[in-house]
Structure 1
Amino acid sequence: MKYFRYFFYCSIFFVLVAFTLSKNRSNDTSDDPIAVIAYYVPQWYSIPKQLPLGQLTHIIYSFTKVIDGEMKFSNEGLAVKLQQLVAEKKNHPHLKVMIACGGWGADGFSDMAHTLENRKKFVSSAIQFIKKYKLDGLDIDWEYPGFAAANTGARPEDKQNFTLLMKQLREGLNTLENKQTLTFASAGFKYYYENIEIKEVMKYVDYMNVMTYDQTIATSTFTGHHTALGWINTEDLKDTPYGDFVDAKNEEMKKNGYSFQPNSAEMIIDYCIKNGVAPEQIVIGAAFYGRAWKGVPPTNNGLYQTNTGSYIGWSPYRQIRKEFESNGNYQRYWDSIAKAPYLYSAKDSIFISYDDTVSVKLKTEYAIKNNLGGIMFWELGNDTDDKNSLLKAIYDTSKKK
């Protein structure tokens, strides 16, 4: 009988241990091989219950801002759809609904993170916000610590203060009964990582969502891939106007001991891993939008050529599919080096860089093969309503064993 009691108590002990480990795990505990994370900007026409929530593990409602040192909506009307989104968890209990703070051009981070008291004030407001709306986590989108982008405030101390902010956020989130996911949006270029303490920051977060898009911006004087997966070397640009520009730039940068190379997802993810980031904490980024340039000559089917300006600075994928992919004047090309598609119209001299169902599938496969934490994208509302959407391509690929 004593042996029965022994095995009985041992069984109870191991059940409790398993339960505790499961409860304390921050990452999604479903059997999904990778996280599928959507950034979502509520549109006036979108209804949360009509979103393809069953194909996601996380959805990040965007954005709150740093206002008077606290995390708040800039427009309280945004709260209505957040409440509607959280209500959908009854139909999608696996889904984690998170809130993002920041975004491009969002100011206030440097001042907020600059002192202990300021950070305490912000963290307290974030915790109260999450409790109020019954959320599952927080994403910090500070663009960028240490250097001013879009005329935002910045100071050298941001490098250390960003770490302290994420540490205090983790400590605050850990006081909540519902286990919280903490993430941050990071840039797809190396200079960003010189301005954060990457190894220290990763101690406190679940995922780093790498923005592997906007690698060629709308105001670029050369065409290129804005969301390439494949590693592009300077040799791959040879005999193109962009290649000539890069060569000249590298000659100039050599004087200061630097060099330049085109950005890509494979390049920056490899860089992060070599600098101590665990692969399972890295989330690769996909773009549900494209960028287009006009006045592009037909050489090399428009790739890496000069242009006369932006044709469309921001084109949702649903528009690209409807107006350009189906347009006989546009030819789709595949760059096997960049592992990315592009469209070119010789008739209109227009070049379009974007992600399609083939490239997002490859990004998802890359995440699985390299044991990354998952794939995220900006942004859900830009996808097509067709059955063979970008998200469906990601979802189907993520489910393959």
Structure 2
Amino acid sequence: MAVFHRRCNLRTLLAAALLSLSAATAQAQSPRVIGYVMDGPAPLQLSANKLDVVNFAFAVVRPDGSVYLPDYVAPARLHAVVAKRADNPSLQIVLSIGGWAAGNFSEAAATDAARTRFIDSSIALMHQFKLDGLDIDWEYPTLGDAGISHSPDDRHNFTVLLEQLRARLDTEGAGKRHYLLTIAAAEGRAAEGLELPRIAQSLDWINLMTYDFYGSLTKTTGHHSALSRSPLASADGRNTEAAVKYFLDAGVPANKINVGVPFYGRTFGDVGTDNHGRFQKFSSEGGFISWRDIVHTRLNNPEWEQHWDEEAQVPWLWNPKERRMVSYDDPRSLAIKAAYVKQHGLGGIMYWEQRQDDNEQLLDVLHKALHDAAR
């Protein structure tokens, strides 16, 4: 009888272990939700159980290559984000370095000495705030579009920087933990300064900035975060599917690609009136509007018409009286993008940025589509 009970106990333990392993595997394979969080004057609203990863933005780079938190980023806000682990112990928090118009990356990657300063200082910040890794937002290697320093050598130098940073993070983990290393990137010309797929070997994943396809720098209005190409778009019109294909074709594994979505819209003024403002010339604005402001000032305003593009799979707003157009994502389009991510075995969805949501309406859509559906 004792032998029978012992065998039963062994079977029970084995079954429990298999269930635990199966659950862990399912969790590892389920698409991730990654949210960028910036500092700001308003109290932090962040439901930690709805996310897998928080990218805290931004640390920046000095001319000598060292990384630091600028004066306008309060350490207290980063501590508050870290404290959210109390609500979700599995939440991973990484420090994002860079952002649009943040320079000195070219110098930081150029020499062994500068790379050492970059690595030492960024890892010191990681440990100081008890973070889970680093996210590099160099926009973009070899390009000076944002008025930052750049060089043709950036392409290879960035690869070396990432490889050395990966090696150092592994040393810091000492085989007991894995620190994350990720980057933000865009397709096409913006990716020509990336040695794909070599850098993918050093990275846990790449967050695609699949938004701002249309804005102040484009010739016409358009869907700034379209999933698919609209027939009205030009042949070289950008969209999410094309961006994902670019990285897949370059050899980046699908599970290391995260689709980026905006929690904001792009605005256009003095717009041509054809097609309810879509793909028309404009002469003013090209700016931004948060999802929160769209909800409270546009969606229930009779002066604004709500439209849906069946091909691009995104909405837009049109004000015929003022000749203004707004391109944005809403709960419907985000649910469709989440389904696209799952269908193609992609890593997950990244969004910019937490403060622009409205009572976490958009975050709830992503959480439900990518987490609840996976259970």
Q: With structure 1 as the length reference, what TM-score do the two structures score? A: 0.84
Say which SS state the counterpart of residue 135 (structure 2) adopts.
strand
Counterpart in the other structure of 1:214:
212
Report whether the alignment pairs 1:350 with 2:333.
no
How far apart in 2 are the matches of 1:351 and 1:111?
A: 40
- Structure 1 pair 337/365, CA: closer, same or farther in 2 (3 Å)? same
Report whether the alignment pairs 1:371 with 2:345.
yes
How far apart in 2 are the matches of 1:158 and 1:90?
A: 40
Is this contact kept in 2: 1:219–1:309, CA < 8 A?
no
How far apart in 2 are the matches of 1:231 and 1:198?
A: 24
The superposition leaves residues 269-304 of structure 1 with CA deviations (integer Å, 9 ceiling, x where unpaired) of: 012111111000000010011111112233111111
Matched letter for residue 266 of structure 1: E
Say which SS state the counterpart of residue 151 (structure 2) adopts.
coil
How far apart in 2 are the matches of 1:194 and 1:105?
A: 18
Shift of 1:265: 0.5
Say which SS state the counterpart of residue 151 (structure 1) adopts.
coil
CA RMSD, aligned part only? 2.5
Indicate which of 6, 29, 33 corresponds to 2:30: 33
Say which SS state the counterpart of residue 400 (structure 1) adopts.
helix
Counterpart in the other structure of 1:263:
238
Matched letter for residue 61 of structure 1: F
The superposition leaves residues 164-202 of structure 1 with CA deviations (integer Å, 9 ceiling, x where unpaired) of: 111011111112234211110001x31122221011100
Is this contact kept in 1: 2:228–2:312, CA < 8 A?
yes
Give the unaligned 5+ runs of structure 2.
1-6
The superposition leaves residues 200-240 of structure 1 with CA deviations (integer Å, 9 ceiling, x where unpaired) of: 100000110000001012243311011111134xxx22xxx
* Structural mapping, 1:88-103, within 5 Å: 88-103=84-99
Report whether the alignment pairs 1:122 with 2:118.
yes
- Structure 1 pair 32/380, CA: closer, same or farther in 2 (3 Å)? farther
- Structure 1 pair 46/313, CA: closer, same or farther in 2 (3 Å)? same
Report whether the alignment pairs 1:45 with 2:45.
no
How far apart in 2 are the matches of 1:146 and 1:34?
A: 31
How far apart in 2 are the matches of 1:221 and 1:268?
A: 20
Is this contact kept in 1: 2:215–2:267, CA < 8 A?
no
* Structural mapping, 1:169-184, within 5 Å: 169-177=165-173, 178-184=177-183
Shift of 1:31: 5.3
Say which SS state the counterpart of residue 319 (structure 1) adopts.
helix
Say which SS state the counterpart of residue 93 (structure 1) adopts.
coil
State the identity %.
Answer: 32
How far apart in 2 are the matches of 1:46 and 1:175?
A: 36
- Structure 1 pair 76/292, CA: closer, same or farther in 2 (3 Å)? closer
Matched letter for residue 299 of structure 2: E
Counterpart in the other structure of 2:3:
none
Counterpart in the other structure of 1:253:
none
Shift of 1:76: 6.8
How far apart in 1 are the matches of 2:29 and 2:317?
A: 33
Is this contact kept in 2: 1:226–1:291, CA < 8 A?
yes
- Structure 1 pair 203/64, CA: closer, same or farther in 2 (3 Å)? same
Shift of 1:363: 1.0
Say which SS state the counterpart of residue 172 (structure 2) adopts.
coil
Matched letter for residue 104 of structure 1: W
How far apart in 2 are the matches of 1:269 and 1:219?
A: 22
How far apart in 1 are the matches of 2:203 and 2:79?
A: 25
Structure 1 stretch 295-304 or stretch 140-149: which is displaced more?
A: 295-304
Counterpart in the other structure of 1:71:
67
Is this contact kept in 2: 1:42–1:381, CA < 8 A?
no
How far apart in 2 are the matches of 1:220 and 1:197?
A: 27
Matched letter for residue 181 of structure 2: L
Counterpart in the other structure of 1:326:
300
